[in-house]
Structures are given as structure tokens and as C-alpha cells.
Chains A and B, each alone.
Chain A
Amino acid sequence: MEATSRLAVPEDLAGLRERLKDRLDEKKPRLVVCGDTGCTVRGSRELAAAIEKILSEQGLSDRVELKVTGCLGFCEKGPLMLVFPGAILYQKVQPSDAGEIVEKTVLKNELVERLLYTDPESGLPVACAYDIPFYKLQNRALLETCWYINPLDIYDYIARGGYAALAKVLGGMTPEAVIAEMKEARLRGRGGAGFATGLKWEFCRSSPGEEKYILCNADEGDPGAFMDRSLLEGNPHAVLEGMIIAAYAVGAKEGVIYIRIEYPTAVLKLEEAVRQARELGLLGKDIFGSGFDFDVIISKGAGAFVCGEETALIRGAEGKVGEPRQKPPFPADVGFRGKPTVINNVETFVNVPLVINQGAALYHSTGTESSGGTKIFCLVGKVKNTGLVEVPFGTTLRQIIFGIGGGIKGGKKFKAVQTGGPSGGCLPEAMLDLKVDFSDLAQAGSIMGSGGMIVMDEDTCVVDVARYFLQFLKSESCGKCFSCRVGIDRLLEILDRIIAGNGSVEDLALLEELAVTVKDTTMCGLGQTSANPVLSTLRYFRDEYLAHVRDKRCPAGVCRSLFRYRIDEDLCAGCGACAEQCPAGAIKETDEGCYRIDHGLCTVCGACAETCALDAITKD
């Protein structure tokens, strides 16, 4: 292992990087296995073990490097594996494929064609990851590093230019210059609200008092969102570096990373990263000999979604019950332990070293006029290519869903996309050319949120979707504000009524009035955005609501009280498979030799329709 002595001055870092130069050797064969949760579940750990075994058996361990990294991004096709040189992407790799990969690709420089990604349009295999549309259309400024580094090894990060931004900052930039750089870069908080990071730091810096804090919000809780986890697991040192720079800029000596307990791997990697950074003197007293002290502690959440809200997070980190409080005063004035505090999201901190390294001008050359840089989205739902997607601000939803995402699964039609997690809005096809940006999304009735993106196809009922998200928010509301606690509950009551087929047209007006009240009157961000699923679906899919309340019909065929299954007697061959499958015993043979459903007994489970080989059973 390389020298583990403290880095006393910025020049030591350059020296260390020089010694680590052979880690960047692009000609050296390197096998990269994705170690992120999705791929691990599908067996990437076994795959890595199998490769390791084969390498040592064949005596290749010195010549070929095996690396288990963070998320490689294309989660749909996991377990993923990259082979360098050439960035050859193998998908759905099983441990049994290890031998073939080593033998062919590593030793003979041949491709294992059956493991390659196939382009759906041309039907041809694509070898290089950078040529796959999913990756080609992205701008992976933040995620790229995750392909090359072992998150448990600080030297990997340093070899790739890690902590250089910190050295630059501590080697001669004033805190004011750092803040000015962030402002000029138009870096905006990636947690959801999109507040200008430089401005936030400036407020905190100019707030009176010696004692200040930096908090990292790693309490990512949106269903279907995992970008912060991927960053923490794939590149934890970048988060630390961002935090240290932020601390220097605002004058903080202590930081807290508030991370949800449901991310055990991220916690482990972060703890290891902190340990390694301390060992090299990148955390602790007198960092880089600049006289600046900073250290972080890791605080684990207890499972409340609302603790992602900054004032609730502060209380959580203080060991109190995680409940928001009314702002102002903002955390920049009264925050952690009552002192001025900056709270930024994981992704924001990862952007910070990038801004310093690239310089503000280059950084904000990607993105829009108001928001610089890129944003990571979690593309999930009924889309062909699910995974982690990084694009510049200003990319349209269509580019993300149909370009990178490859369109809708199973030849179905696109219906809506929910951006920003449970508190976001559902946007219809007409809004697909909307540019992804904080203000544009808000205008359209949705939010950026932390970057969840759930795609829905024509088989989705928007009323049901609104109910689903409200149910999530109901169980996650802290219950302090009357308007949020009772408001969401009553919204659900109305939606339940509509879905059960007992709704009226007046219910829609009441739903809207109540939703606006909840949005307008609640204290914290959770409550204020909780009505978005209802308001946005009412705005864009009112016809569907009307069909539910007026015609008592669910156009998507989801709400079970609003449709029945019917057997087309002309198509029915009388095989009886449906009757066998029916758990309620509701399907009986008729005198004419075909089958009929007894609607008094039918539970509308749909087992019969799935069974019928002739598609004779339809929704009515």
C-alpha cells in the first residue's frame, strides 16, 4: 500500500497522485463489477468472487485488476460488468460466465457476444458502453467517476483527481472567493427546492457567531429514488470533499452527515471513507497545513421520511423527534444546536469539487441560464431502460424518457410521468417537451424534487396513482400540522369514495379546494407539496376523474369497483381454464358449453383474464 502518512501541505497531494499514476494505466486490463444494491441482489457479489477465483487460479491476479464499484447506472440490465480497455459492457452476467469473459475478452481480446447489449432498433450488439444510447445521450459529469473507483479506497479517488479541489481551495482561495465561485457557477441545491447554493453559504457565513455547522442531507426517502445512495456508495469521498469545502467557505468546524438507517451499505462506506480521510489528515486539525479544522460525524436516521425536510433533519440530528418547525428563522441563522447551519443534499456536495476543478464558467456552460450543471434522475416505472440517468438541466422529458429510457415497455402508450417523488406532479404527454428545470417543472404543477422520475403507461389510472402517493404521504406525515394530517386524510377519503364508484362531480370541486388548502396552509415542504399528485392529475387528467364520478367507469381498467370482467361467448372455446383458476368459484359452465362469470361472487382479481389463451375475457 502507498504511504499512509498525513498530507501536510497541498503539494503532498500532488506527490501522492504522482505515485499513484499507474492506477490510471489505461492499457492494463481491468474488470469492473457493479456492487450496487440492484446488481448485488442479482448476484454481482458471486460474480466478483468467481472472477477473483479464476484470476488467482490462472495466476492473472497481478496482471488483471478486478474492481467492485458503485452503481454503473444501467440497473435494468444487471448484474453489469465493464471490461477495460475499451469499456465493454456486459449485461446480465452470471458467475458461470466469469471463465468465458476472462478467457476470451481479457486474454484474447474477443467479445462474448451473447452478453452484449443489443440495440433494439438495429438488432445489432453494441460493445462499448459509450456507444449504447442509454449512456451516449447522458452527460455523466458526476457519475462517470463511479465507474473507475473502488469506493472503499481513498487512493483510487485521489488518483483520479480527488481532493484536488480541496487542495486548491485551501492552498489560496478565500472563503469569499469560494462562495463567489459557487454563485457564478449557478449551482442550485439538488435536494428539491433548488435554492442557490452560493447564496445559502453566504447567508450562513454572514450570520453572526463563531460556531457554525455543515449538514449533509442523506435522508433520501422518495419511493423509487436512489441517486444519493448511489453517490454515497459509489463515490463517498466526493461528498466529504464537498462538505469540507463548504465548511471552509462558511467557517464551520464540524459537520454532520444525516443518513437514513435503511442505507446500511452507504453508512459502512461512508464510515470507511471518513476513517481514511482522517488518516490522511483530510479531516481533523489543520487540514493541508492551512490552519483550518473540520471533522464530521455520521448521524443515522430512524426511518422517518419527513426528516429529509431540513428543520426536521436538524431536530433529528440533535437527537430529538424529527418534526419540522416554521421557517423563518432559516437554518442559516438558527440551525443545528441553534447555530448557523448550511444543509445541502448529497448530490449538491458532489457538485462542489467539480465546480472548483472546472471553474464556474466551464461548469455553467452545461445546464440552463438559471441552473448550472447536470442533474441525476432515477428513471423507473414502465420504461424500457430503467436506471440512473444524468443529464444537463434543460434536457426535455422526452429526451430522457424516449431517448435515454428507450420508450415505454411492451409497446404500450405513454400516459404520464411523475417527477419529484411522491410530492411531485404527474405530467401528461403534452408536457413532454418541457425542459427539466426547477422553475419550469414548478410552473407545470410538478416539482424537481430530488430527482425521482416514474414513468406510467396507459394501464395506469391516475386517480389510483394519486391515491397511492397520498397514502404514502399520510403514513409519513409527522402529524404536527392540522392541515397536513387531517387534510391528506380527507383527500384520501374523497379519492377512496371516487375509486369505489361513489363519487360525485361535487367531490371533484371539494377535492380541488381541499388540495389547494393543504398546499397553501401547511408548515413544511412535505405538506406543501403533498397535494401535488392530486392537483396535477386534476389539472391534466380531469376527463379521467369525470369518467370515474359521472360515468362510473375507470378508463384504464384499474379501479375494481368500476369495471367487470366479461366472457365473450363467441370467443370462448369452453376449455374451462378460467373456472379452474378462479379463486372465488365465480365462473360456471353454461348450458351452451361456454363459461359465464357470476358477478355476485367475482372479486375482480383478473386471474381468469390472465389465464384465457383466446383473450375471450375482457374488462367491461
Chain B
Amino acid sequence: MVQMTLNGLRVEVEEGMTILEAARFYGINIPTLCYHEGLSPYGACRLCLVEIGPSGQSKLVSSCTHRVEEGLVVRTHSERVVKRRKMLIELYLATCPQSRVIQDLASKYHVTRVRFTPRYEDCILCGLCVRMCAEQMQGKAIGFAHRGSNRKVATPFDVKSEECRLCGGCMYICPACQSRCQGPQEEEPLCNACLNLDQPCLNYFDDNMCFMDPCVACELGAGREAKAKSRDGRL
């Protein structure tokens, strides 16, 4: 067992665990897009970033790839982490606004604006499908091709692969192709209809976050109404 500090609490976790696993074990929710329990960690979506090390010399690392160490100090919801995470979610929204998973993340982490031109891309290159195909389906039919902004998931040479058994595992696990809920709202880059999951505590408890998920915000009043009230100082 390893002793570490998680959001201000001294905790004991099993050796060999990742920070993400340890945090989830203690009921702390860290958002992810490219992580799945059944697949090897990849560390590409950057949403699971946590702050480690003493303040002043701290750095951000992806918690899905970083193993716990003796004496490690981890903050999963510090101001720095939340700020960066929100910016990333904003970028995800601008990349792939048609994805329900990403819209939900936006509401949950209180991202209420998109300052970039929306692009409606089909893929966020989280690599879940590639790993699903290789690790769970033993298919290895798809992989990454090209580099940088040309990178894409493809079969070898872009032709129908002999290896593909059409199992659909890739589609099952894809966070980008899950369509948005068909509510009465207009198809804008940002939905925010379930913003009632807003976490007002974030501004007050930097290190010691509240562990309830979904948080109490929704009990204090429904969504947008509560937010409007709190903004006016009536709550």
C-alpha cells in the first residue's frame, strides 16, 4: 500500500494503481474521454489532468497514465486544473459539438461559451476504437494514419480491411458519434440544457472539493434558474 495525499486527504491506495483509479476508488470524479477500464491507458484526451507536487513546483499530468507513488500530493480539482480542463472542453465543443458526450461534459463542468469557430468534425482521435479493436476484439483492423492535424483513424491504405469482422466494437465505444439528445433546443454549438449540474463549490474549496456527484447544486434549484439567481446574489 502507498500513502498519498488526495485533495487534502491522507489516503492509502494499492501500489501500481494509477491516480485516476485511486481517485475513482475514493469517489472523486475525474472526467475522461480516451480512458476505458478495459483498455490500456493512452493519455491523449488530456481531460483527466491532475495537479501533482507541492504548490509552486506543481505540474499537470494525465492521471490515467501516472502511477501512484509514496507521498504523492494530488489535487484533482484545483483552480489550475479546473481552468485548463474547461478550456479543453471548450476546444472539444468547437471540434465536435454534435457529440452528446461532449455536450454533457460542457454542462457538467460549467462551460458556457465557445469562442472558437465550430468545426463539426467526426472524430476527436481519442483512440478508443483503435484500442478496442486491437485489445478486446483482437482485430487490429484499424490504426492511426498520418501525423498532426492530418492524423486520422483508418484501415491500412484506406481500403476495406480483411481483418475487420464488422463487429461494431469501434462504434460502440466511440464518444464522438453518440448523437445529442433530441430535445426542444436548437442545434447550436453549445446546448447547456442540463447546466443544473453546475458545481458552485469549485470557487470556494480549491483543494478540498465536495465528493458528491452529481453535486448538491441540482438540489438547490433547477439548472439555469438557480444559476441566474446566484448571479444576482439572491441565493
Contacts and interface: CB of A to CB of B under 8 A. Distances in A.
A90 to B, nearest CB: 45
A489 B115 CA distance: 14
A520 B80 contact: yes
Interface string B137-164: 0000000101111110000000000000
B173 interface: no
Given A321-B144, A485-B148, A480 B44 contact: yes
B151 A479 contact: yes
B149 A482 contact: no
A493 B91 CA distance: 13
A482 B46 CA distance: 7
Contacts of A475: 147-149
A482 B125 contact: yes
Interface string A458-492: 00000000000000001111111111011101100
B88 A474 contact: no
B62 interface: yes
- Residue in B46, B115, B124, B149 whose Cβ sees the most chain A Cβ within 10 Å: B46
Given A326-B65, A493-B116, A486 B95 contact: yes
B89 to A, nearest CB: 11
A348 to B, nearest CB: 24
B148 A517 contact: no
A520 B148 contact: no
A297 B149 CA distance: 33
Contacts of B115: 510
B35 to A, nearest CB: 12
A123 interface: no
A522 B116 contact: no
Contact of B125 (A326, A485, A493): A485
Contact of B62 (A326, A485, A513): A326
B91 A326 contact: no
Contact of B148 (A325, A326, A479, A521): A479
A476 B147 CA distance: 7
- Residue in A325, A481, A522 whose Cβ sees the most chain B Cβ within 10 Å: A481
Interface string B10-22: 0000000000000
- Residue in B44, B67, B95 whose Cβ sees the most chain A Cβ within 10 Å: B44
B43 interface: yes
B202 interface: no
A514 interface: yes
A24 B49 CA distance: 60
Interface residues of A, number: 29
Contacts of A521: 46, 49, 60, 84, 88
B45 to A, nearest CB: 5
Interface in A294-330: 304, 321, 325-326, 328
A523 interface: yes
A482 B91 contact: yes
A68 B203 CA distance: 68
B46 A522 contact: yes
Contact of B151 (A485, A493, A520): A485
Contact of B149 (A328, A479, A481): A479
B43 A523 contact: yes
Contact of A520 (B33, B84, B124, B126): B84
B65 A485 contact: no
A443 to B, nearest CB: 14
A321 B147 CA distance: 10
A482 B61 contact: no
A520 B60 contact: yes
B87 interface: yes
Interface in B112-134: 115-117, 124-127
A328 B18 CA distance: 12
A477 B147 contact: yes
Interface of B: 33, 43-46, 49, 60-62, 65-67, 80, 84, 87-88, 91-92, 94-95, 115-117, 124-127, 144, 146-151
8 contacts: A478-B148, A479-B148, A481-B43, A482-B124, A482-B126, A485-B149, A486-B95, A493-B116
10 A-B pairs with the lowest CB-CB distances in the bound complex, closest first: A479-B151, A326-B65, A517-B87, A477-B148, A326-B43, A479-B148, A483-B46, A521-B46, A480-B44, A521-B84
Given A485-B125, A517-B84, 9 more contacts: A325-B43, A325-B65, A477-B148, A482-B46, A482-B125, A482-B126, A486-B91, A513-B87, A521-B84
